[in-house]
Structure 1
């Protein structure tokens, strides 16, 4: 079945572990995949928030298979799965991408390997060759993943990203966790519109090149710059709020009377995104435990949030403002 990735909001789904053994907690995982998807958010499996770096190849495969089975059983057969597949080498990245495709992933999100960042960061030809090779040999379309914080400081610039978009028809988007709105605007200026699609069609003509923010704190500004949504860890905690924010941002493009409301909601989301992102995966899981009764601990060596830190984060005004908005939207969904 061909599932096409469209503009919208996507969530890097958390991976859950048994408290005593650190084995996968698939019951919580399945529950969470449905919780997020039912809010209108697309799932990203084994991404950064999913602690991909802590998972074996077999565990990654299990999670992707479980997500696909869970979605299909609940009637979400048309919802595509994005899987994180960046590895330490080109060879491993291609292996992970092939395994993800076989497990049910429709798209791959590929981060740059940062272990040898000292040699790669200033070597644009090597970075370009890496992504061109992965795109050429991948069995599924890929999205570039620019996350300097998780790739040794390597920061793909807008020129390289647009070159890859032009030269590689199997690259269908980019996630900008660098948070650079100027970069996003430059990329959108190149890849948006019918002229680019006509001149540089994707391998599957139904695909387009999506430019996605890596946080939700600039979702409205990125929409006005021509962006196509975001992949945000905050959607683990407030999926209805993020889905509503994006819908309102899109609606305000045609009806400016809705812009003020979108800007107000963006302020709530931006403050919470900043505060919770600073608490990392551990803090996100701790807040999810408060909200939904599951969340649990990260896998070692990542330390869990302390009871004191969890309580301070939970009581923070930025977090409580988002919690109130999420409760309101969940009580009266569209």
Structure 2
């Protein structure tokens, strides 16, 4: 069966929630949150960095995929695709995780560059390309490249390498740029967002275009004008309606400049909130979710929980207060 189409838009790396005493998966909280985000029009991404994938066992990853698919299908959201993180230290394990995710119901895999031996491969372009080529060849679902130098030993895929991989393998369908490099996004989009490129280099699923997605929401509006396709952002856990509205207005403003001032206003609020929440890490995001929805909890050890003083500071930060007010206004909640 062909995968559900991955469309331009906003996607959210869902946290993995844990029970306080045992650190077992807290599936009821996970189910609530997946549904909350998806009903806001934001696509869920499971077992990513924000989902503490590095702390999950293989069977826990597949449990999350099966659970999310069941929740979506049971609530009228069967057409929503699931992206699942399948990054691992070796090519072999990455492929195994891609296959397991596909068997559990994933539509797409997002694959981070292995960084443990960064000293040996960071400057070896052929080794980097060989890794992604082999994973793409052997994965039963299409993959997205995940460029996150901070979690990859500093390895930063450049725009030429990314566009070469996009052109050479039809099972690579996008890239997430958590490097935050707007210039890189612009260069990639100059190549892959041209209609002639899509015709010349079709994906394995003919209707699927190659998506260039930012890793933050502080440049959604500029990225749309560079012909980008949206973002995968942890901030969407806290403000999914607001970020979806920003994306929609940004796209609309291309044909209707009268909505540009409102898109700029939302972009400012969201950019400030993104910076503040990102600096608080996974623990800070969970603390804000705890205040908003009554679930969130702590990360898995050894990642420490945020201190109560720091959590209070994040919650009462003017940028977070402004963002939460905006989200409540747009969502009507």
Name the TM-score class by shorter chain.
over 0.9
Name the SS for the 1:221 alignment partner.
helix
Name the SS for the 2:153 alignment partner.
coil
Partner of 1:284: 285
Name the SS for the 2:254 alignment partner.
helix
Q: How does 1:231-270 map to 2 (within 5 A)?
A: 231-270=232-271
Tell me by how many angstroms 1:193 deviates: 2.4
Q: How does 1:180-195 map to 2 (within 5 A)?
A: 180-195=181-196
Tell me by how many angstroms 1:213 deviates: 0.2
Matched, 1:101 2:102: yes
Runs of at least 5 residues in structure 2 that lack an aligned partner in the other structure: none
Partner of 2:39: 38
Deviations 1:73-95 (A, max 9, x none): 00100000000001100000000
Tell me by how many angstroms 1:330 deviates: 1.1
Partner of 1:329: 330
Whole-Å Cα distance in 2 between the matches of residues 32 and 272 of structure 1?
20
Deviations 1:275-313 (A, max 9, x none): 100000000000000011110110000000111000011
Whole-Å Cα distance in 1 between the matches of residues 252 and 138 of structure 2?
38
Partner of 1:208: 209
Whole-Å Cα distance in 2 between the matches of residues 317 and 24 of structure 1?
33
Whole-Å Cα distance in 2 between the matches of residues 253 and 96 of structure 1?
39
Whole-Å Cα distance in 1 between the matches of residues 309 and 205 of structure 2?
50
Deviations 1:191-250 (A, max 9, x none): 012211111111110211000000111100111100000000000001011111101101
Partner of 1:130: 131
Name the SS for the 1:329 alignment partner.
helix
Q: How does 1:1-334 map to 2 (within 5 A)?
A: 2-331=3-332
Q: Greater shift after overlay, 67-76 or 190-199?
A: 190-199
Aligned Cα root-mean-square deviation (Å): 0.8
Whole-Å Cα distance in 1 between the matches of residues 5 and 84 of structure 2?
14
Whole-Å Cα distance in 2 between the matches of residues 149 and 274 of structure 1?
16
**TM score, norm. by length of structure 2:** 0.99
Whole-Å Cα distance in 2 between the matches of residues 122 and 138 of structure 1?
25
Tell me by how many angstroms 1:120 deviates: 1.2
Question: What is the number of residues matched between the two proteins?
Answer: 332
Tell me by how many angstroms 1:164 deviates: 0.3
Tell me by how many angstroms 1:55 deviates: 0.2
Moved over 6 A (4+): none
